[in-house]
Structure formats: structure tokens, C-alpha cells
């Protein structure tokens, strides 16, 4: 039976763990000691202390696409936010618009917003947005001046998201030919039980305003493969905000779309009986070639198991170009049940449109992948018992501790077993000798913890797997390259996954 069909409203507590490509993870102790704590009731002081990574208010300058998804425990609904905010480089949000939808059908669309922000020297920051529907507080960390990861500070809401900078002039989505975007969507289906749903696929935005393509969907374990897209349309204005709609065999989906650039979109559904959010990346032309889809790869997945509990996985493998998966190893955490250094093999097939499938001896077992390029794919589990989405990227192996050096932005979305959600953003300095020092901010079931000091260790093996620990919390990193690391917890109390990104 598909995921036992026992997933209920309570399962939406884990919705953030079904990756928006950017459920992300941290190397941080979740103890809340050493910093300030509040019960989510007031605006905390701006971030302070920490490593000097050269950031300031001037680092956040221009118009950014805001995308957030979360859960309101007081009103018992999942929600998503999309919008545009303009930062002046001096601490002011001078203009903006946001759209908010939830899984009960509630919507607040095209709402004007303004606000303030501050950026600390280590890239941690705080943004306060004000609009007709109320005030929202975000804590964030900059990876650079163009991207940031964030979480919402609230007494009743747990939410994570990101900021992505637009160019000064937003380009038309069709700049050459009819571009194909690889999409990942997460959320809930149209049933009254709000079963978890996810989809990946290829959407082609044609010059006449139509959308064609193919998607693969996992609706609480019922998998629909290679579903044709019909009746697709889109229209995007000069600010990058617009609409899109398409139909598959499982129904029609209507979205507000935010164009980050000519190669990136963010989307939230405005359907009253569906709740979806996600994004899409431009597919490059050199996909579907087995001679280039080869070599070392690192992957990360997160979502829910057949009981509605959170499950995360990360690992690495080698593709031989002839359909075989070799040298695989992964670490997983299913609601506190930890699988460590699992060796696996398997096989895969690749189509000319960049769609591929695999079976392998991992916890998730079967995958459907869509190539953004030969070095990057989005993933969906082809499994009736586990629903996860994620990413896979070409991996640089042979790195050492000395390869991991400098300041890294960290961002967490995860879950305390039998307790509730946790979010963290922070900055850590890696010394190249296996040591980490930094400062982080978090929201846990017990309160907000800001300006917390953290230390830890890492140990990079030749295949890129790195056991790690901070504050007694055990972790495993998979090094993609010297700038990015996937991370999963190997702790029986904490279930989270994500990445560290060099600033």
C-alpha cells in the first residue's frame, strides 16, 4: 500500500524535510548555550561577534527573490511565501511585494512590503519585513552578496528559505530558442488528508507563451512516471513576477512565478486544493550523453518515510558510463535510526532528454533523476515507502583537510525526534587542519538562540566522506568540492541534512 496511506495532517510537520533543493543542513550543536535566548515573542538584537568574513550592510544591495516554506503550529497549516525585496545597501528594504499561500486555501497575494535589515561581519544577518498582513522576522546568512539562506523567527511558525539576487534588468525568460527548465516541486496533494507530494521534471517555456514537457510525481508513495504536460501557459512581467499553469494526468497546477535570472525560477502554487512550492533551473544543452554523465558524484535526499517520519540521506558513488554504479557509500537517518557508511552498488539508465533512473543498494533504493547538466541533477525517490527529493552533483575526490579552509556559511532545516522543528544559520571558519570555530543562530522548540559560539572537527577521507562533530553532535559530510559540502546528522535525536558553502 502506497506509504501505507496512513500519513496524516501531522505529517506536514516534516514538510521542510522534503527538499526545496535547499533544505539545508548545518554543522552546529543544537544546545542553545553560550548565547541569548528568547521565547519567539520579540525582535532579537542584530547579529554580532563571530568571524570577520568581510560582510556589511553594503553586501545586501539590489532586488532579491524571496522564497520560504514553513508550518504554523498554532493554526495547524503549512504555508509558502514568494516575493521580491529591494535592499538599498544601507539597512533598508525600500520596496517589495510578497505572496503567501497555505494548505487550507488561505492566500494573501501581491502585498506591498518594506522593512529593515542588518548584516554582520560574518555574513549572518536579520531582516524585518512589514506589510498589511503583519510583521515577519528572518534570520539569515549570506553565502555571497547574491545568495542567502534564512529562517523565520516566530512564536508559532517554523520556516526556512532563501534570497537570490536578480540582475538590474530582468531578462526575458525566452532569450534563445525555447529553454527547458528542470523543476522540483514539494508540498501536499489535493486530498483532505494533505498527503505529501513531490515532482521533478522538464518544462519547456516556448516563445509563444506555452509550456510543454514531462514530469515524474510521487504522491505519498504512488509514483507516476513520465507524465505529459498539456495546456501549459506562462506570462512574466518586467519585474520578474508572473504566472504559469500546466496540466498532467494528476491535475492542473497554477503558480505565481518569480524569475531570478535567465537560468533560475522560483514558484508557489495558488491552487486552493493543492499546496506546492519549489524552483526550476535552466537545463543546459549537453545532457543525455553517457560519455559525459560519468565519474564521481555526491548526492543528498530528504523527506518522509511510510510512517510520516523524517528521513535524510547523503552519499557518493561512481558512474562508469556503461550503466553501472560503483564505489557507493551513504549515511542515512530515519527518525533517529542511523545507517552509517553503507556500501552499495547498482545500475542506471540515461535518456537523451536528460532523464535517468537508477536502482542501488541504498535506503531509498530507486531514484528518478533529471539532469540540469551532466554535473548536476535533481532527484525523486521511485519508491512506495519513502518520498524524498534532492540533488546530485559531480564530486572532486582526493581532497584532504587542508582543502577545507576559510569561512563557510551553514544553514539547517531539520527535526528533533518527538519534539519539533529546528532551524539554524551560521558561519564557521575551517582552519585546514580539521577544526571549526564559528557563531550560529537557531530556532528550536524551546526558543530562539542567537549569537551562539560553536566549535567542531572534520576529517576528510579520500572519497570525500568526512565524519564530523560539533558540541557532541555527530555528523557526516560529503565533500562535493572545496567550496560545498553536503551534511547529514548521525545522531539519534536530531534529523537534518544540507550543506556548507564557502563564503
* Per CATH, domain 180-282 is 3.40.640.10: no
Provide CB contacts within 8 A for 465, sequence distance 6+.
316, 329, 331, 341, 476, 477, 478, 479
3-class SS at 378?
strand
Please give the model's pTM, rounded to 2 decimal places: 0.93
pLDDT average, residue stretch 443-464: 93
For residue 132, pLDDT over 50 is answered with yes
The answer to whether 458 and 450 have CB atoms below 8 angstroms apart is no
* pLDDT per residue as tens digits for the range 149-195: 999 999 889 999 999 999 998 988 876 689 999 999 999 999 888 99
pLDDT at res. 31: 30
pLDDT at res. 446: 84
**SS3 track for 261-314:** ECCEEEEEECCCCCEEEEEEEECCCCCCCCCCCCEEEEEEEEEEECCCCEEEEE
3-class SS at 401?
helix
| Percentage of the residues of the chain whose pLDDT score is greater than 90 | 82
Q: What span, in angstroms and rounded, lies between the C-alpha atoms of 347 and 359? A: 6
Q: For residue 272, what is its C-alpha cell?
A: 486552493
Q: What span, in angstroms and rounded, lies between the C-alpha atoms of 254 and 247? A: 9
* pLDDT per residue as tens digits for the range 271-322: 988 899 999 999 999 999 999 999 999 999 999 999 999 999 999 999 999 9
pLDDT at res. 305: 94
pLDDT at res. 9: 34
What CATH number does the domain located at 24-165 have?
Answer: 2.40.128
Residues of the chain with CATH 2.40.128.120: 180-282
Amino acid at each position: 500500500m502506497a506509504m501505507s496511506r496512513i500519513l496524516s495532517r501531522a505529517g506536514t510537520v516534516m514538510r521542510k524535510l522534503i527538499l526545496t533543493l535547499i533544505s539545508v543542513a548545518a554543522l552546529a550543536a543544537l544546545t542553545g548555550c553560550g548565547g541569548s535566548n528568547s521565547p519567539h515573542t520579540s525582535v532579537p538584537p542584530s547579529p554580532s561577534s563571530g568571524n570577520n568574513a568581510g560582510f556589511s550592510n553594503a553586501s545586501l544591495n539590489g532586488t532579491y527573490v524571496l522564497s520560504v516554506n514553513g508550518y504554523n503550529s498554532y493554526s495547524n497549516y503549512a504555508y509558502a511565501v514568494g516575493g521580491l525585496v529591494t535592499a538599498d545597501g544601507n539597512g533598508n528594504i525600500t520596496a517589495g511585494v510578497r505572496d503567501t499561500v497555505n494548505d487550507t486555501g488561505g492566500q494573501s497575494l501581491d502585498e506591498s512590503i518594506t522593512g529593515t535589515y542588518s548584516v554582520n561581519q560574518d555574513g549572518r544577518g536579520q531582516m524585518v519585513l512589514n506589510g498589511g498582513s503583519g510583521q515577519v522576522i528572518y534570520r539569515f546568512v549570506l553565502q555571497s552578496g547574491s545568495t542567502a539562506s534564512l529562517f523565520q523567527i516566530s512564536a508559532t511558525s517554523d520556516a526556512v528559505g532563501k534570497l537570490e539576487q536578480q540582475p538590474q534588468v530582468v531578462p526575458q525568460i525566452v532569450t534563445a530558442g525555447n529553454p527547458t527548465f528542470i523543476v522540483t516541486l514539494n508540498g501536499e496533494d489535493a486530498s483532505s488528508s494533505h498527503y505529501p507530494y513531490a515532482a521533478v521534471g522538464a518544462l519547456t517555456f516556448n516563445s509563444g507563451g506555452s509550456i510543454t514537457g514531462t514530469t515524474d510525481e510521487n504522491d505519498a508513495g504512488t509514483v507516476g512516471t513520465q507524465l505529459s504536460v498539456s495546456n501549459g501557459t506562462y506570462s512574466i512581467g518586467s519585474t520578474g513576477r508572473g504566472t504559469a499553469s500546466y496540466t498532467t494526468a494528476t491535475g492542473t497546477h497554477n503558480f505565481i512565478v518569480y524569475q531570478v535570472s535567465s537560468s533560475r525560477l522560483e514558484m508557489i502554487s495558488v491552487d486552493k486544493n493543492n499546496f506546492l512550492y519549489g524552483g526550476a533551473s535552466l537545463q543546459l544543452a549537453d545532457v543525455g550523453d553517457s560519455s559525459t554523465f560519468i565519474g564521481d558524484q555526491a548526492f543528498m535526499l530528504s523527506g518522509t518515510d511510510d510512517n510520516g517520519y523524517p528521513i535524510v540521506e547523503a552519499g557518493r558513488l561512481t558512474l562508469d558510463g556503461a550503466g553501472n554504479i560503483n564505489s557507493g557509500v551513504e549515511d542515512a537517518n530515519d527518525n533517529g535510526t542511523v545507517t552509517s557508511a553503507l556500501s552499495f552498488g547498482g545500475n542506471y539508465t540515461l535518456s537523451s532528454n536528460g532523464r535517468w533512473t537508477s536502482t542501488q543498494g541504498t535506503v531509498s533504493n530507486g531514484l528518478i533523476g533529471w539532469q540540469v547538466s551532466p554535473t548536476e541533477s535533481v532527484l525523486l525517490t521511485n519508491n512506495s515507502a519513502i518520498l524524498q527529493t534532492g540533488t546530485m552533483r559531480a564530486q572532486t575526490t582526493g581532497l584532504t583537510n587542508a582543502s577545507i579552509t576559510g569561512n563557510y556559511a551553514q544553514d539547517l532545516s531539520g527535526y528533533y525526534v518527538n519534539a519539533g522543528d529546528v532551524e539554524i544559520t551560521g558561519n564557521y571558519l575551517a582552519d585546514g587542519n580539521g577544526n571549526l570555530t564559528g557563531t550560529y543562530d537557531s530556532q528550536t522548540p524551546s526558543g530562539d538562540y542567537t549569537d551562539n559560539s560553536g566549535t567542531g572537527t572534520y576529517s576528510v577521507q579520500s572519497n570525500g566522506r568526512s565524519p564530523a562533530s560539533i558540541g557532541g553532535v555527530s555528523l557526516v559530510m560529503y565533500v562535493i568540492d572545496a567550496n560545498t559540502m553536503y551534511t547529514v546528522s548521525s545522531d539519534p535525536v536530531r534529523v537534518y541534512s544540507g550543506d556548507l558553502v564557502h563564503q
